[in-house]
Amino acid sequence: MQTLQTTSLRLLDNQLYILDQQALPQEKRWLPASSVEALVGHIHALRVRGAPLIGLSASLLLALLAEQGQSREQLTAALETLRAARPTAVNLMNNLDRMKLALAQNDYVTALAAEALGLIEEDRQLCASIADAGSVLVTPGSRLLTHCNTGGLATAGVGTALGVITLAHQQGKVANVWVDETRPLLQGGRLTAWELGELGVPYQLITDSMAASLMAKGEVDAVWVGADRIAANGDVANKIGTYSLAVLAKFHGIPFYVAAPQTTLDPHCPNGEAIPIEQRAGAEVTGVAGSFGAVQWAPDNAQVYNPAFDVTPAALISGWVLDSGVVTPEQVAAGAFRRA
């Protein structure tokens, strides 16, 4: 396969490498991900994260394994193992469904490579289209609040919600971005803050519990988040803490926007209750670990509830910003996502 470079993925000498998002921002470290076991491990550890990026990395790996001579049967088993690596992020399932169709072709080696590279290019274009559609909704002088990380680290392009914010900044419309640190793994504090700093976008980092006080003071003009899955009724699964922001935004009369590619839509999922929510290790709550080492602050025997995602009901969302344009609550109520 051809040499390829995105913010977080690298194809070099027919090997796949991922940017270790657990090491950022202290260290920019590339790790090999040229086996199913390695990539699944990276996904579970969130060294690879972001719904679009997870799907793209899995697709690239399948294409590489095919070029290395793995049989159709071996590739089918690899595909299903990768599919199970992240149950909430529907981009992974959607991308692998397309790779499965390519695997059924007579010349599946060529077909898999073409499909994987096509998905990368599509994602770049999707991100650009989302940014174009969403930036129209940003008013001059806006103070925006975002949660988790939705930039180039999580996609092949400029990102989803962060792509909107970046383009709006380039258009001179962003006064400040409030960045939730995003418990428990601090993707906002480690990744979004790093990306915005690299892009020259003005931001201030806050703890998740500070958002309500900022809204009460009139310091937030809109909330922008991404999505790991959008159900047919418009309910959205995203990083834990998103639902809280949506409730707060509704109470304070602040627009709450979800930015995501159409690959995040799941018309077969009727509502948020049907979205599987991944439970993660308790150690992520009882302490913190990273390139700096590990610290534990809770008792050794502390019992932990640690869902990776929560579900925001469609009734709390002001608009879904897709690569196809902005979808309104009225359009969602009329069945726009059921026909996707």
Residue positions in the annotated binding site for substrate?
49-51, 86, 187, 238-239
Q: Structure tokens of 264?
A: 């995040």
Report CA torsion sign: 194, 199, 205, 210: negative
Tell me the C-alpha distance between 14 and 270, whole Å. Answer: 40
Q: Give Cα separations from 134 to 1, 47, 171, 233, 337 (angstroms).
A: 34, 28, 12, 21, 18
Give, for 119, the enclosing helix (H) or strand (E).
helix 108-135
Residues 218, 202: Cα–Cα separation, whole Å: 18
Contact 95, 148 (CB under 8 A): no
- For the annotated binding site, the residues are 49-51, 86, 187, 238-239
What is the rounded CA–CA span in Å between residue 233 and residue 287? Answer: 37
Catalytic residue chosen out of the listed positions 228, 235, 266, 323: 228
Tokens of 221: 């003009």
299 Cβ contact partners less than 8 Å away, ≥ 6 residues apart:
286
Question: Could you identify the residue written with the tokens 């590339």?
Answer: 30
Length of the chain: 340
Please, are residues 260 and 160 in contact by the beta-carbon 8 Å criterion? yes
* DSSP label of 316: G
Using CA atoms, how far apart are residues 84 and 256, in angstroms rounded to an integer?
Answer: 31
Tokens representing residue 64 in the block? 């590489």
Token pair listed for 319: 């608009």
Alpha-carbon distance 156 to 263, whole Å?
Answer: 13
φ/ψ of residue 315, rounded to 5:
-65, -15
Phi, psi of 192 (to 5 degrees): -65, -45
Respond yes or no: is residue 235 known to be catalytic: no
For tokens 């796949």, name the residue: 16
Q: Which residues are catalytic?
A: 228
